[in-house]
Amino acid sequence: MPINESDVTWVSEPKMNFWESTFLPAIFQGLKVTASHIDGHTVTQQYPEEPVKLPMHYRGVHRLNRDDQGRVKCVACMMCATACPANCISIIATEAPKNDPVWEGRDKYPASFELDELRCIYCGMCEEACPCDAIELTHIYDLTGKTREEMIFNKDKLLSVFDQTKDSGVDPVRTHRGKLSGTADFQSLPPLAPATSVNPDDRSAKASSPGVISR
Partner 1 sequence: MELLKNPLIMAGVTIAVVLGGILGACSYLIWLERKLSAWMQDRLGPNRVGPMGLLQPIADGGKFLLKEDVIPDHVNKFLYLMAPCLSLITTMLAFAVVPFGPVSHAPGDFPFVIAPGIDLGIVFVFAVGSLAVYAIILGGWASNNKYSALGSLRASAQVVSYEIPLGMSVVGIALLNHTMSVEKILMYQAEQGFAGWNVWYQPVAALIFFTAALAESNRLPFDLTECEQELVGGFHTEYSAMKFAMFFLGEYTHVITISFLTSVLFFGGWHFPVIAEVGSPWFLKVGVLLLKVLLIIVLIQMLRWTIPRFRFDQLMGLAWKVLIPMATLNVVIVMCVLEFELPRFWLLPLSAGLFATVGLISTQGSLPQRSLTAAPTAAHGHGH
Nearer to partner 1 (CB atom), residue 25 or residue 210: 25
By CB under 8 A, name the one of 31, 118, 205, 207 that touches partner 1. Answer: 31
Pick the binder of partner 1 from 1, 7, 14, 15 (CB under 8 A).
15
Q: Which stretch binds partner 1 (CB under 8 A): 33-41, 79-87, 145-153, 164-172?
A: 33-41
Nearest to 109 by CA among 69, 168, 57: 69
25 touching partner 1, by CB under 8 A:
no
Identify the CA nearest to 134 among candidates 185, 85, 75: 75
Least distance to partner 1, CB of residue 1, Å: 16
- The b/e string for 179-205 (b: 16+ C-beta within 10 A; e otherwise) is eebeeeeeeeeeeeeeeeebeeeeeee
30 binds partner 1 (CB under 8 A): yes
Question: What is the contact surface with partner 1 in residues (CB under 8 A)?
Answer: 5, 8, 10, 12, 15-22, 27, 30-31, 33-35, 37-44, 46
